[in-house]
Amino acid sequence: MSITKNIILNHQEIQHKIRRIAYQIYESNVYEEDIILAGIESNGYILAKKLKQNLEKISNLKPILCKVQIDKKNPQAPIMTSLNQDEYINKSIVLVDDVLNSGSTLIYGVKHFLDVPLKQFKTAVLVNRNHKKYPVKADFKGISLSTSLNEHIEIILSGKTHKAYLE
């Protein structure tokens, strides 16, 4: 049995969504000097890097990248970040992931950053699947899809051509 892959976003559409999310992040942080883009490894971090590049083109913000390592099979395991906690005290943070599925990855990521006082905390995803197990929302999203639980979304952000598939 072959699995059918339907393209939901092509390369140009993904670029457009990333640029639009960058503008939304800038608008909600227009008075900030810098901002932490905390990307969940691996596609979330790649997306955070692309948002950083766009923010540097469109604003005076100084985006700081932070890699967030969450064990998605065991999200209660300790979360590792490339920044020390004291580096994001009283900062504006955007937690970035590629797809918001059940919400467990984002909710555990949010929990980690709540251990220190923050100026502002937002979330950004490229695809929001609209059926969450946890009460977490994406503040900035590229596209929202109503999918069935047995459907899978695959996003390719590495390489020269980016695509998002529904299978």
Regarding beta strands 92-100 and 80-81, do their DSSP bridges make them parallel or antiparallel, or are they unpaired?
Answer: unpaired
CB 100 within 8 Å of CB 138: yes
Looking at the chain, list the stretches that DSSP marks H as alpha helix, in order from N- to C-terminal side.
Answer: 11-28, 43-58, 104-113
Q: How much is the pLDDT for 77?
A: 87
Which residues 6+ apart lie within 8 Å of 147 measured at CB?
A: 129, 130, 131, 153, 166
Q: How much is the pLDDT for 133?
A: 78
- Alpha carbon dihedral 54, 7, 94, 104, in 10-degree steps, equals -170
Q: How much is the pLDDT for 65?
A: 98
Q: How much is the pLDDT for 56?
A: 97
Structural domains of the chain in order of their starting residue, each with its CATH number? 14-151 (3.40.50.2020)
List the end-to-end C-alpha distance of the chain, in Å, as a whole number. Answer: 13
Query: What count of Cα atoms within 13 Å lies in the side-chain half-sphere of residue 81?
Result: 21
pTM score of the predicted model: 0.93
Query: Tens digits of per-residue pLDDT, 40-69?
Result: 998 999 999 999 999 999 999 999 999 999
Measure the CA–CA gap between 127 and 155, rounded to whole angstroms: 9
Q: With a cut of 50, which residues of the chain have pLDDT below it?
A: 1
